Amino acid sequence: MAVDFEKFFYPESVVVIGASAVPHKPGNDVIRNILANGYGGRLYLVNPKGEEILGMKAFPSIQDLPEGIDLAVVVLPAALNPQAIRDCAAKGIKAVVLAAGGFSEVDEKGEELQEELTRAVRETGVRVIGPNTSGHTSTPHKFTSTFFPQGKIPGGPISYIAQTGNFATHTMRYITTGENFGVARVVGLGNKVDIEESDVLEYYAQDPETRAIFIYLESFKNPRRFFPIAREVTRKKPVFLLKGGATAEGAKAAVAHTAAMAAEDRVIDGALKQAGIVRLHQYSHLFLAAKALASMPLPKGNRVSFLAPSGAMLVVLTDLCLSLGLKVPDFEENTRQFLQSISPPIVRMRNPVDIWFSAGIHGVEFAYREGTEAALRDPNIDAVIPILLLTDDTGVPPLDFLVDLARKYPEKPIYVTFTGEKKHMDAGKAFLEPRGVPTYPLIEEPFEVLSLLARCRRFMERE
């Protein structure tokens, strides 16, 4: 039966079961997170002592709650979870998040407990995220169930599915403090006694708030269900997946971590390709690629133009492009002529663009602005990567022109990277990203990201 995700992503009423008055306890942090994100629905707390917590009176038990609460976030010790499910069901609560670890991921006793929990879930029909989940987030509804202190999570068009708590915790924290893009939904799957990746993927597929989907998985709960769903989703939305445990040693670590055996890697590789999912191999691509999609359109293909203040850089990066499966095509003749007209006659302008020459005549800002626009206009080009030279001596240009060009050419992505002084790079990022132009600190990164995104467009256009 399809999960009624409205109860998870748009709950009108929420109860925290295991609410705690003690700061830094998960049962306290989860309440703080809910408040920090500005949740506007009704919020109930359950605490055996019926304490007042953060200005709210707690109910002493689930039995004492009013009927028909949409969602319960359970922060109780593992052993109490099966009964909590039954108590929630009795109160008409149909959606539950289970935070506690201590189940099949630890030992045999935990496995037995997980079986008992699974029975409670099946018998009651309650839908469950977890256990051993760090919670879920829905910024369009200003709600999160995570117990890891997050503060206000910025909204945006990217949605994540993560098997592990790690993602919803410190990686999200990196994203909210180090990057300038936002998320729509995050679901930490945990041990998946009920809701699993296929359910969430199905929801994201039709979710108007979700433009692109990023998944971290260690195991597929039900590959026969997952891949057919994925095959349909990827025709409409880009889907990226980082799979833990792709090798024997990785699997060993995976076993230690979640008790989930890693499936045969090559089979997965083929299945992902067939399903149109772009496989990630680097942890950092979970946010570097997401950033490119949060504010820029998906590139229509793999034909790139880039601009650098150095022939040497152009050479190395052209090599990189080819090794990444990117094309560096010739410009149309009128683009070439235009670039030639702003450069000295002794150099023959082409793609990629050495802006050093026109910068010498017309200044750095002019050279980057005109060069970037010429590349954006050229029908042979799908994406443009300006490598901005930012040093005091060459003069740091105002970067508004990139924001303007992004608005003027909304169908082609611009990814910015830098060479020169660190302080100007940091300032460039702080200026451009909140205005919708993604930046990358290392020169290779936008190329790596483009190669991932271009593949995903190819998947979309398959028969």
Give residues 390-409 in contact with a second copy (rule: CB under 8 A).
Answer: 391-394
Does 13 bind a second copy (CB under 8 A)? Our answer is no
Binding mask 167-186 for a second copy (x = CB under 8 A): x-xxx-xx--xx--------
Q: How far is the CB of 425 from a second copy (least distance, A)?
A: 7
C-alpha torsion sign, points 154, 155, 157, 163: positive
Contact segment (CB under 8 A) with a second copy among 252-260, 268-276, 291-299, 400-408 equals 252-260
Q: How far is the CB of 124 from a second copy (least distance, A)?
A: 28
Closest among 46, 131, 48 to 82, alpha carbons compared:
131
Single out the residue of 82, 165, 397, 446 in contact with a second copy (rule: CB under 8 A). Answer: 165
Contact segment (CB under 8 A) with a second copy among 56-64, 193-201, 229-237, 303-311 equals 303-311
CA distance 383 to 305: 6
Does 378 bind a second copy (CB under 8 A)? Our answer is no
Single out the residue of 122, 235, 273, 348 in contact with a second copy (rule: CB under 8 A). Answer: 348
Which tokens belong to 2?
A: 């399809």
Does 354 bind a second copy (CB under 8 A)? Our answer is yes
Beta bridge partners of 52: 57
Q: How far is the CB of 61 from a second copy (least distance, A)?
A: 29
Nearest residue (CB) to a second copy, 9 versus 216: 216
Single out the residue of 256, 264, 266, 333 in contact with a second copy (rule: CB under 8 A). Answer: 256
Does 152 bind a second copy (CB under 8 A)? Our answer is no
In Å, how far are 163, 176, 200, 204, 401 from 197, measured between CA atoms? 8, 24, 5, 10, 41
Q: Cβ-count burial of 163 within 10 angstroms (0-12 exposed, 13-18 middle, 19+ buried)?
A: buried
Which tokens belong to 399?
A: 């970067």
Bridge pairing between strands 212-217 and 239-243? parallel
Single out the residue of 61, 206, 222, 284 in contact with a second copy (rule: CB under 8 A). Answer: 284
Contact segment (CB under 8 A) with a second copy among 6-14, 64-72, 92-100, 307-315 equals 307-315
Q: What angle do CA 116, 261, 5 make, to 5 degrees?
A: 55
Single out the residue of 6, 39, 419, 436 in contact with a second copy (rule: CB under 8 A). Answer: 419
Map tokens 């451009």 to a residue: 432
Q: What angle do CA 142, 287, 173 make, to 5 degrees?
A: 50
